[in-house]
A and B are shown apart, each in its own frame.
Chain A
Amino acid sequence: MHRLAFVASGIAGQALDIQELHQDDASYTDGHYLYINSSLTPVQQVDAVLFQSLLLRAGSLEKQRTRALLGQPGLTRSYLVLEIYRAMDMYQAELPSQLISRYPKPDSLELASNPAGSLVLATKNRRNIPKPLVEFGRIRPLKIRSYEGFAKGGRFSQAELSGNFSIAELAEHDEDAETETSSILAMFKNPLSDGNNALSRTLNKILGSGTSGSGEGDDDDEGYGSVPMERGAQTLLSNQSNAQIMPGDHAPLPSVFEPSTAEFQYPEWDENRQHYKPDFTLITELDPWEEPAEFKRYGAGYARQLQHQMSTVGVEYQRHSHQPAGEDFDLDAIVNYAITLNSGNSPDESIYRMSRKSRRDLSTLMLLDISGSTKDFNDSGVSIHEQQASFVEALATALYKLGDQVAMYGFHSWGSRMVRFMRIKAFTERGGSQISRRIKQLRPSGYSRLGAAIRHATYLISQKRLTHHLLLLFVTDGFAYDDGYEDHYAEADTVKALEEARNLGIACACVSIGTDKSDQALTRTFGNAAYIRCETLHELPRRLRKHLQSALNSAAKTG
Chain B
Amino acid sequence: MTQVSIDLMPSTSPVSYFPTADEIEIFSAAAQQKLAVMLKGPTGCGKTRFIEYMAQQLGRPLITIPCHEDLTAADLVGRYLLKGGETVWEDGPMTRAVKLGAICYLDEVVEARSDTTVVIHPLTDHRRELHIDRLNQTLNVPDDFMVVVSYNPGYQSVLKDLKESTRQRMVGIDFDYPGAEVETNILVCETGLNESVCLDLVKLAGAIRRLDSSGLSEAASTRTIVATARLINGGVSPRRAAIACIASALSDDLEIIAGLSEMIDNYLPESLR
Contact = CB atoms under 8 A, between A and B. Distances in A.
B138 interface: no
A6 B267 contact: no
Contacts of B207: 7, 10-11, 94
Given A339-B81, A403-B158, A98 B210 contact: no
A265 interface: no
A3 B259 contact: yes
Interface residues of B, number: 39
Contacts of B180: 93-94
Contacts of A5: 259
B214 A15 contact: yes
Contacts of B80: 339-340, 343
Contact of B87 (A50, A332, A342, A401): A342
- Chain A interface residue bracket vs B: 35 or more
B158 A335 contact: no
Contact of B210 (A3, A4, A9, A335): A9
A18 B271 CA distance: 27
A403 B158 CA distance: 6
Interface string A88-115: 0000011111110000000000000000
A14 interface: yes
A10 B82 contact: no
Interface in B28-67: none
A7 B258 CA distance: 11
B263 interface: yes
A3 B159 contact: no
Interface string A363-379: 00000000000000000
B157 interface: yes
A293 interface: no
Contact of B158 (A14, A262, A401): A401
Contacts of B213: 15, 262
Interface in B211-238: 211-214
Residue of A5, A7, A13 most packed against chain B (CB within 10 A): A7
Nearest to A401: B158
B1 A332 contact: yes
Interface string B258-272: 111011011101010
A433 to B, nearest CB: 15
A7 B262 contact: yes
Given A339-B81, A400-B158, A98 B259 contact: no
Interface stretch (B6-14, B143-151, B198-206): B198-206
A502 interface: no
Residue of A98, A332, A401 most packed against chain B (CB within 10 A): A98
B1 A335 contact: yes
A145 interface: no
A336 B134 CA distance: 12
Contacts of A339: 79-82, 87
B221 to A, nearest CB: 16
Interface in A374-421: 400-401, 403
A46 B266 CA distance: 8
Contacts of A430: 153-154, 158
Contacts of A96: 200, 203, 266-267, 269
Contacts of A15: 211-214
B262 A13 contact: no
Interface string B80-111: 11100011000000000000000000000000
A1 B266 contact: no
Contacts of B87: 339, 342-343
Given A1-B255, A338-B82, A6 B203 contact: no
B200 A97 contact: yes
B158 A431 contact: yes
B140 interface: no
B130 to A, nearest CB: 20
A401 B157 CA distance: 10
B150 to A, nearest CB: 18
A99 B81 CA distance: 63
Contacts of B210: 9-13
B196 interface: yes
Contacts of B199: 97
B208 interface: yes
A425 interface: no
Contacts of A336: 79
A338 to B, nearest CB: 7
A456 interface: no
A431 B263 CA distance: 33
A11 B203 CA distance: 10
A262 to B, nearest CB: 8
Contacts of A11: 207, 210
A181 B2 CA distance: 79
Interface string A324-363: 0000000010011011101101000000000000001000
Contacts of A3: 258-259, 262
A93 B258 contact: no
Contacts of A98: 266, 269, 271
A94 B262 CA distance: 16
B158 A6 contact: no
Nearest to A466: B157
A6 B200 contact: no
A428 to B, nearest CB: 8
Contacts of B196: 97
Contacts of A95: 203
A515 B120 CA distance: 52
A299 B260 CA distance: 48
Given A94-B206, A336-B79, A10 B157 contact: no
Contacts of B266: 7, 46, 50, 96, 98-99
A415 B44 CA distance: 48
B214 A6 contact: yes
Nearest to B212: A15
Contacts of A94: 180, 203, 206-207
A287 B267 CA distance: 34
Given A14-B212, A342-B87, A403-B158, A6 B263 contact: yes
Contacts of A431: 158
A114 to B, nearest CB: 21
B123 to A, nearest CB: 24
A6 B262 contact: yes
A46 B82 CA distance: 65
Interface string A217-256: 0000000000000000000000000000000000000000
A332 B72 CA distance: 12
24 contacts: A1-B259, A4-B262, A6-B256, A7-B266, A9-B210, A10-B211, A12-B210, A13-B210, A15-B213, A46-B265, A50-B266, A95-B203, A97-B196, A97-B199, A97-B267, A98-B266, A332-B1, A339-B79, A339-B82, A340-B80, A343-B80, A400-B158, A430-B153, A430-B158
Smallest CB-CB A-B distances: 3 pairs: A10-B207, A6-B259, A403-B159
